[in-house]
C-alpha cells in the first residue's frame, strides 16, 4: 500500500493539474458579453463567442431565471442554437422583476462553463424607440400626431396597455423650415396631438420628435423627419 501522505500528495497534484486544464479550456470557450438588449420591453439575450472560437460549429445553450428562484430554466427554443441571440421576451414579462440569463457553448465535444448576465430589470433597462410621427398640413399650421412604441404581446391580466401605463412620458417636437436653419423645439409636454401655428404659407417645414422619460432622465432617439408644405 502507498503511504498515506504520498497518496494525498498525488491526489492534490492531479486535482490541481486537471483544474487548471479545464479552466484554460472553459475560459476561452466561454461566451463573452452575455447581456440583455431590451427595446420597448422586447428582451433579447445577446452574446459573443468565446475568445478561442475562430471556426464554425459551436452551439449554445440558454437558461434563465427570475432573481430569487433557485432553479434555472431551459429555454428550449435556444437549446443548441447556433445564433448569438435568444428572444426571452416571453420569459421576462414581469417588468419590475429582476432576471438573469446565462449561456454556455459546446464546441468539438467540449462544453464551456456558464456565462451569466448582470441582473436585468426590464422596467429600468428597456430603451424606448422614437415615436412615430404623422404631420398633417393646416392653415398656416401643422397638426402633429405622435404614436408611442408598442409593447410586446402579453396576456397578463388581459389588459390593453401602452407605454404610458408604465412611465410618465413627455414628448418633444422639433421643427425646422429649412435645412440651413437650426431646428427649434416647438413643443414639450404630455400630449400626443400637437398643433403648431403661425407658420408661413408656401414654405416647407420638417418635424421630428422624441420621447422623454423624466423619472429616468432618459430620452429616445429622434424619430424620422416628416416634411410638409404649408399651402
Ligand atoms: C464557416 O462557415 C462559412 C459559411 O457558413 C463557410 O464559408 C466557411 O468555410 C466555414 N469555415 C470553416 C472553418 O468551417
Ligand atoms: C435542461 O435540459 C437538459 C438537457 O436536455 C436536461 O438534462 C435538464 O434536466 C434540463 N433542465 C431543466 C431545469 O429542465
Ligand atoms: C411569445 O408568446 C406569444 C403568445 O403565446 C407567441 O405568439 C410568440 O411567438 C412568443 N414569442 C417568442 C419569441 O417566443
Ligand atoms: C385660413 O386662415 C385665413 C387667415 O387667417 C382665413 O382667412 C381663412 O378663412 C382660413 N381658412 C380656413 C380653411 O380655416
Ligand atoms: C387597445 O386600444 C387601442 C386604442 O384604444 C385600440 O385601437 C386597440 O384595438 C385595443 N386593442 C385591444 C387588443 O383591445
Ligand atoms: C425659417 O425660420 C427662421 C427662424 O424661425 C426665420 O428667421 C427664417 O426667416 C425662416 N425662413 C423661411 C424661408 O421661412
Which residue did the predictor score with more confidence, 103 or 5?
Answer: 103
Q: Is the CB of 85 under 6 A from ligand 3?
A: no
Q: Show which of 125, 150, 170 is a domain's final residue.
A: 125
| Closest residue to atom 4 of ligand 6, CA basis | 181
Q: What confidence category does residue 52 fall into, taking pLDDT thresholds of 50, 70 and 90?
A: confident
Do residues 90 and 166 share a domain? Answer: no
Quick one: average pLDDT of 139-144? 94
Do residues 114 and 157 share a domain? Answer: no
Do residues 40 and 61 share a domain? Answer: yes
Do residues 151 and 48 share a domain? Answer: no
Do residues 84 and 159 share a domain? Answer: no
Helix (H, G, I), strand (E, B) or coil at 29: helix
Do residues 25 and 82 share a domain? Answer: yes
| Closest residue to atom 7 of ligand 6, CA basis | 181
Do residues 8 and 95 share a domain? Answer: yes
* Domain tally, the chain: 2
Exposure string over 152-175, b if 16+ CB within 10 A, otherwise e: eeeeeeeeeeebeebbebbbbbbb
Q: Show which of 106, 125, 144 is a domain's final residue.
A: 125
| pLDDT surpassing 50 at residue 20 | no
| pLDDT surpassing 70 at residue 111 | yes
The residue with cell 459546446 is 106
Do residues 154 and 116 share a domain? Answer: no
Do residues 91 and 175 share a domain? Answer: no
Q: What is the mean pLDDT of the chain?
A: 86
Do residues 163 and 103 share a domain? Answer: no
The domain in which residue 211 lies consists of: 132-229
Q: Is the CB of 56 under 6 A from ligand 1?
A: yes
Q: Ligand 1 centroid vs 53 CA: distance in angstroms?
A: 13
The pLDDT value given to residue 22 = 45
Do residues 101 and 147 share a domain? Answer: no
| pLDDT surpassing 70 at residue 157 | no
CA-nearest of 29, 10, 7, 28 to 18 is 10
* CATH at 146: 2.60.40.10
Q: Is the CB of 156 under 6 A from ligand 1?
A: no
| pLDDT surpassing 90 at residue 142 | yes
Cα separation of 43 and 137, whole Å? Answer: 38
Q: Is the CB of 178 under 6 A from ligand 3?
A: no
Q: Show which of 125, 159, 176 is a domain's final residue.
A: 125
Residues shown for the chain: 231
6-18 pLDDT, tens digit each: 444 444 444 444 4
Amino acid at each position: 500500500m502507498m503511504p498515506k501522505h504520498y497518496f494525498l500528495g498525488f491526489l492534490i497534484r492531479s486535482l490541481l493539474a486537471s483544474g487548471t486544464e479545464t479552466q484554460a479550456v472553459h475560459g476561452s470557450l466561454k461566451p463573452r458579453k452575455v447581456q440583455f438588449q431590451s427595446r420597448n420591453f422586447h428582451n433579447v439575450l445577446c452574446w459573443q463567442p468565446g475568445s478561442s472560437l475562430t471556426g464554425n460549429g459551436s452551439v449554445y445553450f440558454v437558461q434563465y431565471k427570475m432573481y430569487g428562484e433557485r432553479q434555472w430554466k431551459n429555454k428550449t427554443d435556444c437549446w443548441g442554437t447556433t445564433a448569438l441571440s435568444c428572444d426571452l421576451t416571453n420569459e421576462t414579462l414581469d417588468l419590475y422583476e429582476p432576471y438573469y440569463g446565462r449561456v454556455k457553448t459546446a464546441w468539438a465535444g467540449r462544453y464551456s462553463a456558464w456565462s451569466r448576465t448582470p441582473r436585468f430589470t426590464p422596467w429600468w433597462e428597456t430603451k424606448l424607440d422614437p415615436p412615430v410621427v404623422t404631420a398633417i398640413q393646416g392653415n398656416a399650421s401643422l397638426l402633429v400626431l405622435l404614436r408611442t412604441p408598442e409593447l410586446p404581446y402579453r396576456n397578463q391580466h388581459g389588459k390593453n396597455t401602452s407605454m404610458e401605463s408604465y412611465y410618465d412620458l413627455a414628448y418633444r417636437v422639433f421643427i425646422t423650415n429649412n435645412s440651413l436653419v437650426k431646428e427649434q423645439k416647438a413643443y414639450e409636454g404630455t400630449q400626443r396631438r400637437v398643433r403648431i401655428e403661425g407658420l408661413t404659407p408656401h414654405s416647407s417645414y420638417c418635424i421630428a420628435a422624441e420621447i422623454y422619460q423624466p423619472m429616468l432622465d432618459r430620452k429616445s432617439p429622434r424619430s424620422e423627419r416628416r416634411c410638409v408644405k404649408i399651402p
